[in-house]
Structure formats: structure tokens, C-alpha cells
Structure 1
Amino acid sequence: MVNLRKNGTIVRSNGPIGLFGGGRIGPDDLNLVLNRVTSVVAADGGAAVLVDSGRLPDAVIGDFDSLGDKFKDKIPANRLFLIQEQDSTDFDKALRNVQAPLILGAGFLGGRLDHQMAVLNTLIRYQDQACILIGEHEVVFHAPPKISLAIAPGDIVSLFPLARVTGRSKGLEWPIEGLVFEPDGQAGTSNRALSDVELHMDGPGLLVMMPRAALDQVMQAFLSGQTGLWPARVE
């Protein structure tokens, strides 16, 4: 069930939400997301790929500077939510205005590096949101307090900090206990799974990057309700 403009949130869903951005969307990304979610939201120009596919978004959120009238005119007016301020990206505008047990995002990775960095910065700042981003070769998410993943031995598990963070692991070739991860210090690029992987983090701020084939396992972990969530940041 999708509710619009409830309790100050533009979109509230009981099931996973697909969130589409205006960046690079691979040939399989659309169906990959639509087959796994119960509702679909577009961040501004991300509505175009949905309209072209015949699936109208349940809501479009953004400043509409990249959504042409060709697509905008096909979307009911009550599904268009204009946020005019220019101090945030469309991904930021969308992420802070949806509420769901899990958000699955496509069209936010690839393309310009500055856009990708802004997206990853936003992913860390909205630490109370469970969100998985799909890239061409990987999935990316903000490590929750704890997560258990049944993934294949040999799968790459890269850990990159956007804050100072520590934690513990099981099932990684190079355990993280005793390490201090920092953006200008220790990172965990190209670690590998030996078996099922567990991460227990002491605080927010760590990005996890895994093979795209692990998407369903990551989704299952978040939807299990056992990962916990970080409290919302006080800005």
C-alpha cells in the first residue's frame, strides 16, 4: 500500500520502494527493480525511463529541472511533488521524503564522478534509511548495525568509510576487528568472502560494496528486520 503526503512524508509504503534516478540505467535494471518492489518513485528525470516503459511512477520528487514536458505531461498532477530548493540533489530530496522498509535505487551510480560522490554522501547522511543502490557491476549500501549475508565464497566485499568507524566481522578473508576505518586512512578495498559474512559495526559511516549478483541476499537481510537501523542524524 502506498500513501501520499501522510504525516509529512510524501510516499509511505509497507513494502520495498523502487527509486529511479536520471543517471545511467542498464538494460536489465528496470526489470530487476520492478520485479522486487511494491511501488515506484522517481527522482526528477528518473521518471523518463518509467514513462517510456509504460509504468508510471507513483510519485515524482525533485526540482523538475531535468524532467521534460514530454514525460511530465503523461504523469498525473497529483503524483508530481515539486521541491524547488537548490541546496540538495534530487536523490537527497527523494530519500528524505519516502518511508519504506527498504529502498532499491537505480540510475544513481555510473556517469559523472561528482554525481556519484554526492549520492554516496547522501546515502551516509540518511543513516536511518535502508537503501541499496544498483551499479553496473555491484550493489552498494550503508552498513547497518549488524548484517548477515549468505554469499558465495570468493565474492568481493569492499568496505569504504565515509566516517571514522570500527567493527567486527566473520567470514571475511581479512577480518576487520581491531581496524579503524577512516576516509583518509584505512579502507577495506577488495576483501573477500570465505563463507557467509557477518558485519557488526560500532557506528554509522561505512559503505559496503558487493557483486550485483548478491542483491537478493542483501535485500533479504534488510527485510528480515534483524539488521537494526541507525538513528536519524540531528542536523
Structure 2
Amino acid sequence: MTVQDTSVPAADAPIVVSQGPLAIVGGGAVDAALLVELAERGVTLVGADGGGDAIGDAGLTPAAIIGDLDSLQDRAGWAQRTRVIHIPEQVTTDFQKALYSTQAPVTLALGMTGKRLDHTLAALSAVLQFAPSRKLLLVDEVDVALAVVGPIRFTAGPRERVSIHPLLPIRFEQSTGLFYPMDGLTLEPGGLIGTSNEGTGGVVEIIPADDTPWLLILGKERLWDLMAL
């Protein structure tokens, strides 16, 4: 069992530093074809404990495997092929361990959702903690969720689904390009949320009142667009 804590241990220095995009892979639902595409595009792959096996199942070798290693199969075999970094502390999840042990301009998280609801909720908690300090995207079978701090501007097609999800209570000053405007709305978990909004076609701009992290959720086909923002 992992006991959650608001404090996150920090490594003296990142163990894995990527100059380009990095993908942290967990043991949830993972699209093997997407992993192959990421590797072909030069994205660094890191396994969060059992996520190393998901990378191996796709025929790939991660740059490192990080975690408490209670789920990794054949730890000794992996140690002969890549860096296996054992972090035994039980204050954080393996996703958090991988986050505080890595550094990259853009970080994707795959296999952090699906299969187990508690893992999905833990992933959202980790995103909330790390969003102010790094660009994070959660990727599942259908969607990609970008953790946003502050305003954002992007394009969306007519009637394209654009979901805005609050991680904490957050007020939005204004928006343009959305079928349901966000002007003056306060969203919060357990209250009003912004799922299943739609683009009107063209530029979408969303401006919150402060720097509280929130999620912008688009279809998975928009992954590379969101990475470029």
C-alpha cells in the first residue's frame, strides 16, 4: 500500500534528463502501437515500475525503470538491459517517483489510467502536484489531457469536443471559440465542471483568473498538437 502525502521527496538531481519529450509508462492501459510511434519519433521512454514490462511487451527497451519495483517482472533480467532504479520509499506512488527523478521539457504519462480507479485518481493527484513545475500530458485509450497553468490558446474544429476539468476550484475570466462560453464561471470538483464543451471552429482561447492547475482534454488524435503548445 502507498500512503499518500502532500510532500514529495525530491532527488538531489534528476536521474534521467531528456532534452526532448519524455514518456513515463505505468502498468495501466497502454497502447503498444503508440509506444512504438513515440520511440520512432525520438521520445525517451521510462517505465514506472511495472510499466517497464509494458514497454518491453511493445518490443522496446526503456531508458530506465524507476519505482519501488514491487510489480516489475524479471528485475534481474531488466538490470542487464537498462537502468533499474529502486526507490523504496512508500510516501509516493511510482508515477511520482518517476516524476521527481526525471526532467524533460514535455512529459507524457501513459498507463497511469484504466484498469484500476485508485491508480487513476492517484495519477490526477500527481498531475496536480507537478503541473506548476513541468508540462504534463495524461494519455489514455481515447483522450489526452494537458495540465494547464494559466491561459491557453489553440485551434479546434467545429463541434470538436473540448473538455475543461477543474482539479481544484478555479474561476475563468473569459473564453473565445467555445460553444459554451466560460466567461465568469467557477468550476470545481463536486460542482460545475466543463466536460463535453465544443469548439466553434478556429482559435480557442481560455483565460482563468489565476494559476490554479486545470485539465484541457481533447481526443487522442490531438496528442502531437498539444505537445507543441
The two structures have a TM-score, normalised by structure 1, of 0.84
Q: What is the CA–CA distance in structure 2 between the aligned matches of 1:62 and 1:77, rounded to whole Å?
A: 17
The Cα shift of 1:78 comes to: 6.7
The counterpart of 1:83, out of the listed 73, 81, 87, is 87
Describe the shift of the 1:72–1:48 C-alpha distance in structure 2 as closer, same or farther (beyond 3 A).
farther
Q: Are residues 1:44 and 2:49 paired?
A: yes
What is the letter of the counterpart of residue 218 of structure 2? Answer: M
Q: What is the CA–CA distance in structure 2 between the aligned matches of 1:83 and 1:150, rounded to whole Å?
A: 41
Q: Are residues 1:58 and 2:63 paired?
A: yes
The Cα shift of 1:108 comes to: 1.2
Q: Are residues 1:184 and 2:190 paired?
A: yes
Q: What is the CA–CA distance in structure 2 between the aligned matches of 1:109 and 1:103, rounded to whole Å?
A: 15
Describe the shift of the 1:132–1:35 C-alpha distance in structure 2 as closer, same or farther (beyond 3 A).
farther
Q: Name structure 2 gaps, 5 residues minimum.
A: 1-10
Other-structure match for 1:97: 101
RMSD between aligned residues? 1.9
Matches within 5 A, 1:48-197: 48-69=53-74, 72-76=76-80, 79-127=83-131, 128-167=133-172, 168-195=174-201, 196-197=203-204
Describe the shift of the 1:146–1:34 C-alpha distance in structure 2 as closer, same or farther (beyond 3 A).
farther
Describe the shift of the 1:220–1:46 C-alpha distance in structure 2 as closer, same or farther (beyond 3 A).
same
The Cα shift of 1:125 comes to: 1.0
Q: What is the CA–CA distance in structure 2 between the aligned matches of 1:40 and 1:84, rounded to whole Å?
A: 21
Deviates more, 1:201-210 or 1:99-108: 201-210
What is the letter of the counterpart of residue 104 of structure 2? Answer: A
Contact 1:151 1:214 survives alignment (8 Å)? no
Deviation beyond 6 Å, 4+ runs, structure 1: none
Contact 1:156 1:211 survives alignment (8 Å)? yes
1:19-69: per-residue Cα shift (whole Å, max 9, x none)?
111111124332243234432111011111222334221111100000011
Q: Name structure 1 gaps, 5 residues minimum.
A: 1-5, 222-235
Percent identity between matched residues is: 35
The Cα shift of 1:139 comes to: 0.5
The two structures have a TM-score, normalised by structure 2, of 0.86
Give SS of 1:28's match: helix
Describe the shift of the 1:13–1:119 C-alpha distance in structure 2 as closer, same or farther (beyond 3 A).
same
What is the letter of the counterpart of residue 215 of structure 2? Answer: L
Give SS of 1:173's match: coil
The Cα shift of 1:191 comes to: 0.5
Q: Are residues 1:204 and 2:212 paired?
A: yes
